[in-house]
Amino acid sequence: MKNELRVVGIQADLVWENPTKNLAFFDEKIRSLPKETDLVVLPEMFTTGFTMEPKNVAEKMNGKTISWMLKIAKENDLAITGSLVIEDDLKYYNRLVFVKPSGKIETYDKRHSFSLAGEDKEYTSGNKKLIVTYKGWKICPLICYDLRFPVWTRNTENYDVLIYVANWPIKRIKAWNTLLKARAIENISYTIGVNRTGTDANNYAYSGNSVIIDCLGDEISNLPKNEIGIIEATLIKSNQQKIREQLGFLNDKDDFNILL
């Protein structure tokens, strides 16, 4: 068990439907990180941008990007996560992949499809929450639109870190900033939000606003609007646990089952 977890989020101007260029960018950034880094978080659909043409870019679980993630994790002794377009059993998924240095792979398929953009018509929604155990930390990784649904996010598993990877447009960035803090506060959890920057092929603009927030809603690390770069922080488990014990809010949470 590790009391401190060194996390990094990489904010990027994704090249539209171009895995080669996007992977080259992330590869360079990751290899320049301090050796103490434990976890790297990439944006939603980090190889392509938020495309509604999965047939153009979909990969299999034994494809190029997963192989790259396995290599990065092993060579740099860190975990890496982000979502990409995956074809599985003749269906397309917006799938978050969490790769550990050991080579173990865990996945989460985006539960809440963004119907405003037609994601529900092109991608199959997931129905299972993922809790990753890594270095003694329990991590709950989610994807973009999931941020608007607090019941799905509710900390019934006593996780320590909540992650959102996203392509969240600047037009609704106030909701991103507000809801990330709300999710951190109500779940008494470190919360990491990694978004993209730039403008995609559909002319949607993104400002990034990636951030790491503590369990009281205070920002630990953030990036200025439209900047390409990283957010980074050392999360301290004992500090968060002390706050949870002092406040006891999670002890009073509602019991419920989600009907899928």
Kindly report the CATH number assigned to the domain that includes residue 106.
3.60.110.10
Structural domain includes residue 183: yes
Note down the domain range covering 170. 4-252
Structural domain includes residue 213: yes
Q: So what's the pLDDT on residue 79?
A: 98
Query: Model confidence at 90, in pLDDT bands (50, 70, 90)?
Result: very high
Structural domain includes residue 259: no
Q: So what's the pLDDT on residue 58?
A: 98
Angle ∠(198,201,205) on CA atoms, nearest 5: 35
Structural domain includes residue 258: no
Closest CA to 126 of 92, 78, 161, 167: 92
Which residues carry out catalysis?
44, 110, 144
Distance CA 82, CA 43 (A): 6
Structural domain includes residue 88: yes
Number of alpha helices (DSSP H) and beta strands (DSSP E) in the chain: 7, 14
Range 14-23 average pLDDT: 98
Going through the chain in order, the beta strands assigned E by DSSP cover: 4-11, 39-41, 79-88, 91-99, 105-109, 132-134, 137-143, 161-165, 190-194, 197-199, 205-207, 211-213, 219-222, 229-236
What are the CA-CA distances from residue 120 to residues 14, 57, 207, 255, 260 (Å)? 22, 17, 24, 29, 15
Structural domain includes residue 122: yes
Q: Over pLDDT 90: what percentage of the chain?
A: 96
Range 178-200 average pLDDT: 98
Structural domain includes residue 119: yes
Range 70-89 average pLDDT: 98
Total-model pTM: 0.97
What are the CA-CA distances from residue 23 to residues 2, 104, 136, 225 (Å)? 29, 20, 29, 23
The DSSP element (H or E) to which 29 belongs, if any, is helix 19-31
Q: Reduce the DSSP state of residue 83 to 3 states and report it.
A: strand
Structural domain includes residue 58: yes
User: How many domains, the chain?
Assistant: 1
Residue linked to tokens 């992330």: 26
24-40: pLDDT as tens digits: 999 999 999 999 999 99
